[in-house]
Chains A and B, each alone.
Chain A
Amino acid sequence: MDKKLLDILVCPLCKSKLTYNRKGSELICKADRLGFPIRDGIPVMLEDEARKLPADEDIE
């Protein structure tokens, strides 16, 4: 994930910064506990497509 791109990417809902989870190939919004998938190199920044992170999943 390009560093400059990550700098301007935010959660489409709450507009807070995202973290890149390299292992899961996801962009994580800690505030909303959502994981936005990256498919074929294209981040899918849609609420409907995001994974809801279970309460017991650690976010790093």
Chain B
Amino acid sequence: MTNTAHNIQPQTPNYDVIKTKQQIAWGSGDYSRVGVTLQISGEQLCEAMDLHAGQSVLDVAGGNGNASLAAARRFCKVISTDYVPTLLAHSQRRAEADGLAIEYQQADAEALPFSDNSFDNVISTFGVMFTPNQSQAASELIRVCKPGGKIGMANWTPGGFIGELFKIIGQYISPPSGVNSPSTWGTTTFLENNFGPHTAQIKSESRHFTFRYQSPQHWLDLFATYYGPLLKTFESLDESTGAKLSTDVLNLIQRFNKADDGTMVVPSEYLEIVAVK
């Protein structure tokens, strides 16, 4: 029952410890407050996957439910999972408000509680990309997908706005050694290595989600308050270092900002993936 793979290489990170910390980070703040703005990416992914009514869909690390709700609106049979119960509860309230039937499970993306070949579609928008053991998570997505089924994802790219934000955060808090940046999932190389040998076809397309906020400071205030990973970073820094991080983030926003009226209009690149098993 234990995962002996942890003991094979001395350099292997302690994924359990990392995951526990992550679970706390994502559970802190209130991700839903910022996550809900990303709804369009879930809708877009379901269209790119050409979901058909009645198909089964598993949303992995589904968070506050953007992709789950989008799939349920297309009359698919949806199971939504996440390891943060408060996010699932938020998703559940959204589904109830919209009169949508979604099943929920609290689950770890690296150890999914489903039989092999169970789902017509396995999806994740900005979710699975944050798991520490990336190849294990990739193999779980493939395992539970039916042969001929589809795996669909939306993953931030390294060079996009959020990818650059991760790099800045990494300058203030060292990521755990041996763990790749989440934006590795937004590269075709990663997909070819991890999905390639097990899938018949991989289509990926560069897309942009646009952050539209009242001002750069408005974005920073909301993300520093509600976005667990950024909140936790600020919490770990003293006041002057925190102020420096704020300046770096505001400079980054300025670099990407397309608005000239004081508001924020920042397109953030992500890779939309549809793989056929």
Contacts and interface: CB of A to CB of B under 8 A. Distances in A.
Secondary structure call for the B interface: mixed
Interface residues on B, range: 20 to 34
Given A42-B85, A42-B106, A10 B115 contact: yes
A14 B113 contact: no
A2 interface: yes
Interface residues of A, number: 26
A32 to B, nearest CB: 5
A53 interface: no
A45 B115 contact: no
B106 A47 contact: no
Given A8-B114, A8-B115, A10-B115, A46 B103 contact: no
Contact of A45 (B92, B106, B116): B106
Contacts of B105: 42-43, 45
Contacts of A42: 85, 88, 92, 104-106
A47 B105 CA distance: 13
A44 B112 contact: no
Interface in A1-34: 2, 5, 7-15, 18, 31-32
A47 B111 contact: yes
A39 B107 CA distance: 13
A18 B105 CA distance: 14
B104 A46 contact: no
B270 interface: no
A36 B106 CA distance: 10
- Residue among A13, A45, A48, A49 facing the most chain B CB atoms (10 A cut-off): A45
Contacts of B85: 39, 42, 44
Contacts of B89: 40
Nearest to A31: B1
A9 B114 contact: yes
Interface in B62-107: 79, 83, 85, 88-89, 92, 103-107
A59 B107 CA distance: 23
Contacts of A47: 108, 111
B263 interface: no
A8 B1 contact: no
Given A14-B1, A32-B1, A44 B115 contact: no
Interface string B98-137: 0000011111100111111010000000000000000000
A13 to B, nearest CB: 5
Q: Report the 7 A-B pairs with minimum CB-CB distance, sorted nearest first.
A: A45-B113, A12-B111, A12-B113, A8-B118, A44-B106, A45-B107, A32-B1
Given A42-B104, A42-B105, 20 more contacts: A5-B103, A7-B115, A8-B118, A10-B113, A12-B107, A12-B108, A12-B111, A13-B1, A15-B115, A41-B104, A42-B88, A42-B92, A42-B106, A43-B105, A43-B106, A45-B106, A45-B108, A46-B107, A47-B108, A49-B106
21 contacts: A5-B79, A9-B113, A9-B115, A10-B113, A10-B114, A12-B108, A12-B112, A12-B113, A13-B3, A13-B111, A14-B1, A15-B115, A39-B85, A42-B92, A42-B105, A43-B106, A44-B106, A45-B108, A46-B83, A47-B108, A49-B106
